Structure 1
Amino acid sequence: MTARVLVAGIGNVFLGDDGFGVEVVHRLSDVELPRWVRVVDYGVRGMHLAYDLAATGYELTIMVDATARGDEAGTVYVVELDTAPSARRPSLDAHGMQPDVVLDLVGLLGGEPRRVLLVGCEPAVLDHRMGLSPAVERAVGTAVRAVADLVADHASEGDRHVPRHTG
């Protein structure tokens, strides 16, 4: 069966809490997900993620990343990203992982991302060290459950929209 959902772990494990997305996708390996879900640790490989999105046409992409929004460290949130092409010129930094830059690269590569959600976590520490801060480490389980819930919601939405054929 072809993957319908991509869960993309994003981040640099050498920059403290920036490794949040990578840790979440590693923990998802212990969670039973449908066969049509592909879970990938992209780390800092923005061009690779953009290429996969352009080439595959996933119904839903869930990016998991540490993203500063000014909330308390460890706050987990889900945000639907705007997939419309931006007016700015896309950056060609193969290691750049800002979601808007990745989505612009998808368009540059000839793809059209469908629905894209960000499961984000407010970081506490983004410096040159390995390991998550205590607040962000505690948030990993919350994010794993959020991703699993989003996949389940997508499955039930798909069931409602797929016509049933008999005999």
Structure 2
Amino acid sequence: MGTIVVLGIGNVLWADEGFGVRCVEALQQRWAFEGGEPVQLVDGGTQGLYLIQHVQAATKLLIFDAIDYGLEPGTLKLIEDDAVPRFMGAKKMSLHQTGFQEVLMLAQLTEKFPERVLLIGCQPQEIEDFGGSLRPAVRTALEDALALGVDRLRAWGAKPVPRLAPPGGDEAVTVRTLAIEGYEAGRPSAAQACRIGDERFLLQP
């Protein structure tokens, strides 16, 4: 038996850029994996080359990420296997994607590339909102992305079952302070904390 790695990448501090991380977080909150091929969930954040060990260890790799396809916000697109590194290189949206393309290419170079790879990407609506969260269209798409991901995990030999209790603090894939519930509850409104700069310095004389 191999190892299935589910990797969410992105930056939760920049609105829809956090889509991939929020997918992995929600997957862990709702599903446990009992029997079948082992599944490792990874909050990849913006770690770039530090993710190489996870990619090289994977027999099958499922990636969630926000990808700028130039489509309607919330649109999902699936890319598979050898097309994934080429696609991510052509569609860079942020620095973390540049780093992750290098991870995939390094895994190929070292001949430790997963047998199967699936990228579930979502068209973001807004990323230029520091401290913002997922926009409604992307939050809705997250549900469809999770359903697609769980179906693929089953097809790959994993056995997801609905989780009866939330994971313990030590198990949580996302740092507690950045988990979406705490993040939303502690985030000041845009009126209280301007996210585009202080208007006193933006106004022209």
TM value normalised by structure 1: 0.76
Aligned residue for 2:10? 11
Aligned residue for 1:90? none
Q: CA deviation at 1:10?
A: 0.4
> Would the alpha carbon gap of residues 6 and 137 (structure 1) be closer, same or farther in structure 2, given more than 3 Å must change?
same
Q: CA deviation at 1:33?
A: 2.8
Structure 1 vs Structure 2 CA RMSD: 2.4
Q: May I ask how many residue pairs the two structures share in their alignment?
A: 144
Q: For each residue in 1:74-121, what CA deviation from the matched residue of structure 2 results, as whole angstroms up to 9, or x when unmatched? A: 0122210417988xxxxxxxx73344322013245x342122110110
Q: Is the 8 A contact 1:124 1:133 kept in 2?
A: yes
> Would the alpha carbon gap of residues 85 and 41 (structure 1) be closer, same or farther in structure 2, given more than 3 Å must change?
closer
Aligned runs of 1:40-51 on 2, under 5 Å?
Answer: 40-51=42-53
Is 1:68 aligned with 2:76? no
Aligned residue for 1:104? 105
Aligned residue for 2:150? 148
Find the aligned partners of 1:155 and 1:133 in 2 and give their Cα distance: 33
- Radius of gyration: which is bigger? 2
* SS of alignment partner, residue 128 of structure 1: coil
Find the aligned partners of 1:147 and 1:53 in 2 and give their Cα distance: 17
Find the aligned partners of 2:102 and 2:144 in 1 and give their Cα distance: 26
* SS of alignment partner, residue 97 of structure 1: helix
Percent of aligned positions with the same letter in both sequences? 32
Find the aligned partners of 1:53 and 1:83 in 2 and give their Cα distance: 16
Segments of structure 2 that go 5 or more residues without pairing to the other structure are 87-94, 159-205
Segments of structure 1 that go 5 or more residues without pairing to the other structure are 87-94, 157-167
TM value normalised by structure 2: 0.63
Q: CA deviation at 1:34?
A: 4.1
